[in-house]
């Protein structure tokens, strides 16, 4: 009698059923810090970030920094990568397509070209004028400080998700417009002198939580859906004793903690009005520049600590020898992902549905030939690419 595998029998009995296969894939995050591309504006004698043309101009100029960024990505060869600080230009993705087609699709320094046939980019809050006095300088509607997120133009410091696997565009959720005050027990900034709310009531009611956006982007990996939970919280600095940016950073991070915890997610609504967070059995990877660490810096550490200690999350704690050598007096330096000496960039997979095989930070030592790619901010970025190799579980 001929023997059949269980999968073959299921496929015969249920011919339309999609069966998930175990897949090993690499997922990365990289703050490409492309505001360093303002060389175009400087050459014209214009102020930094005078228009949305800066990034487009740089992309069209065969710029070495972008080539280095592309080479780093080619060397790591991720299947899915989040780019932070890649401006959203509202140009029908022409800038992003230009980066893919003219840099990633072409060999850089002998590396194999890499293609991402699927990508997602959308509006963010940075540079979107609120018309309010958000920075407390007494002037309403003056960018960059009065943007819903700090930025000189709409889309400044944006995000982009690139994937070798199909994206389920119909089920993407974005949370750009979620109001900060709608988060239970939100950390409202308080003026320490008067002990009163730092924002006026009208401003507090209008203020959005996300300084850029929060995205839930489902990616279809050989029959299995993996939700990419992407964001880029505001730096917890550049404020005053009211700590408005520190508190916002905390609550932007806390949003994801609540989103993956069904008992806490009831208050959440997306930009289409759909309520709630991710379902208990759904697989996810949280990724981005969180601008926070549990041990260094000015962030309110309870936010990032509660996330990293969430029982639904695995933290591989990627590390590098070069990071350790960069700040030899810091015992946590091997975990750093930025050249100023902090761990701020994260790839955090769910416990459900994923096994961690390997992880790393692209940070060559000074004696490595590839050090040229990260030797300073102009070479590529002040952040390092962080990656995890994962295997899906049925």
| Average pLDDT, 10 consecutive residues per value, the chain (394 residues) | 46 53 95 66 43 70 92 98 93 93 97 98 96 94 95 92 98 98 98 95 97 98 97 95 96 98 97 97 97 91 95 98 96 96 98 98 98 93 97 90
Describe the strand order of the beta sheet including 283-289 as a list of residue ranges.
173-174, 215-221, 224-230, 283-289, 345-349
3-state secondary structure at position 33: coil
Beta strands 80-84 and 24-31, pairing class: parallel
Residue with tokens 């609540």: 258
Return phi, psi of residue 200, to 5°. -65, 160
Give yes or no for a cis peptide into 325 (omega within 30° of 0): no
Q: How far is CA 19 from the centre of its chain?
A: 30
Q: Please give the model's pTM, rounded to 2 decimal places.
A: 0.92
According to DSSP, residue 113 is labeled P
Question: In CATH, which of 3.60.10.10, 3.40.440.10, 3.20.20.450, 3.40.50.720 is domain 23-392?
Answer: 3.60.10.10
d(CA 266, CA 273) in angstroms, rounded, equals: 12
Counting Cα atoms < 13 Å in the Cβ hemisphere of 291 gives 23
d(CA 308, CA 251) in angstroms, rounded, equals: 14
The token pair that represents 171 in the structure block: 């089920």
Looking at residue 40, what is its pLDDT?
A: 41
d(CA 171, CA 70) in angstroms, rounded, equals: 29
Return phi, psi of residue 68, to 5°. -65, -40
3-state secondary structure at position 297: coil
Looking at residue 145, what is its pLDDT?
A: 95
**DSSP bridge pairs for 28:** 81, 387
Looking at residue 278, what is its pLDDT?
A: 97
Looking at residue 53, what is its pLDDT?
A: 54
Close Cβ partners of 15 (under 8 Å, ≥ 6 residues apart):
none
Beta strands 190-191 and 196-197, pairing class: antiparallel
The token pair that represents 55 in the structure block: 């990034």
**DSSP bridge pairs for 84:** 31, 159
Looking at residue 19, what is its pLDDT?
A: 65
According to DSSP, residue 315 is labeled -
Close Cβ partners of 203 (under 8 Å, ≥ 6 residues apart):
130, 132, 133, 134
Domain boundaries, the chain: 23-392
* Helix (H), strand (E) at residue 196: strand 196-197
The token pair that represents 264 in the structure block: 């806490």
């Amino acid at each position: 009698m001929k023997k059949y595998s269980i999968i073959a029998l299921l496929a015969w009995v249920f011919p339309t059923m999609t069966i998930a296969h175990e897949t090993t894939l690499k997922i990365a995050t990289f703050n490409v810090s492309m505001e360093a591309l303002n060389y175009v504006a400087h050459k014209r004698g214009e102020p930094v970030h005078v228009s949305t043309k800066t990034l487009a101009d740089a992309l069209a100029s065969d710029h070495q920094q972008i080539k280095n960024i592309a080479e780093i990505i080619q060397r790591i060869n991720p299947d899915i990568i989040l780019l932070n600080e890649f401006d959203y230009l509202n140009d029908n993705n022409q800038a992003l397509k230009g980066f893919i087609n003219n840099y990633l699709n072409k060999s850089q320094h002998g590396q194999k070209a890499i293609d991402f046939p699927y990508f997602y980019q959308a509006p963010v809050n940075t540079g979107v004028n609120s018309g309010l006095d958000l920075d407390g300088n007494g002037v309403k509607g003056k960018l960059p400080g009065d943007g819903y997120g700090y930025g000189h133009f709409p889309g400044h410091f944006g995000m982009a998700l690139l994937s070798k696997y199909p994206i389920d565009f119909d089920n993407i959720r974005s949370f750009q417009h979620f109001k900060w005050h709608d988060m239970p027990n939100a950390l409202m900034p308080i003026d320490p002198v008067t002990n009163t709310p730092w924002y006026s009531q009208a401003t507090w009611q209008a203020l959005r939580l996300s300084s850029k956006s929060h995205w839930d982007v489902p990616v279809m990996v050989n029959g299995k859906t993996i939700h990419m939970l992407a964001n880029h919280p505001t730096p917890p600095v550049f404020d005053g004793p009211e700590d408005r940016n520190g508190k916002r950073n905390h609550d932007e991070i806390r949003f994801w903690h609540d989103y993956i915890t069904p008992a806490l997610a009831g208050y959440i609504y997306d930009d289409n009005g759909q309520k709630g967070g991710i379902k208990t059995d759904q697989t996810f990877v949280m990724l981005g520049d969180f601008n926070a660490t549990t041990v260094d810096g000015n962030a309110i550490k309870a936010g990032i600590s509660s996330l990293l200690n969430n029982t639904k999350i695995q933290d591989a704690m990627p590390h590098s020898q070069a990071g350790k050598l960069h700040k030899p007096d810091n015992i946590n330096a091997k975990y750093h992902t930025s050249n100023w000496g902090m761990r701020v960039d994260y790839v955090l997979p769910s416990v459900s549905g994923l096994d961690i095989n390997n992880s790393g930070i692209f940070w060559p030592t000074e004696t490595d030939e590839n050090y040229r790619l990260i030797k300073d901010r102009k070479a590529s970025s002040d952040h390092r690419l962080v990656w995890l190799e994962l295997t899906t579980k049925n």
